[in-house]
Amino acid sequence: MSKTLFQKICDREIPGTIVYEDDQVVAFRDINPAAPTHVLIVPRKPIARIGEAAPEDQAVLGHLLLKAAEVARQLGLHGGYRLVFNNGPDAGEAVPHLHCHILGGRRLAWPPG
């Protein structure tokens, strides 16, 4: 199976503006931002999407959410932010590698789409 775009960013095979990383997750700026602050946080482990996560992925998914909140704080999103997971093409998923969008830096509208 070939590497996803996000795996290549995590492995430094292609450039990305990384704002956080550890042994389980990598967070980097979105190349097509939908808000003044738009960062993606992805697990290093290739999981196609949240709907395909397995019970053994529970720890990395919990870690990803906790680190998303930490990254949001580090980015100064103290007035609020949105976390978004897209699951499948009908939801707008463009890369089949589980990722969480961290959006903020302006007042966000509801409903989102």
Active-site residue list: 99
- Residues forming a β-bridge with 101: 40, 84
End-to-end CA separation in angstroms for the chain: 32
Nearest to 39 by CA among 8, 70, 7, 79: 70
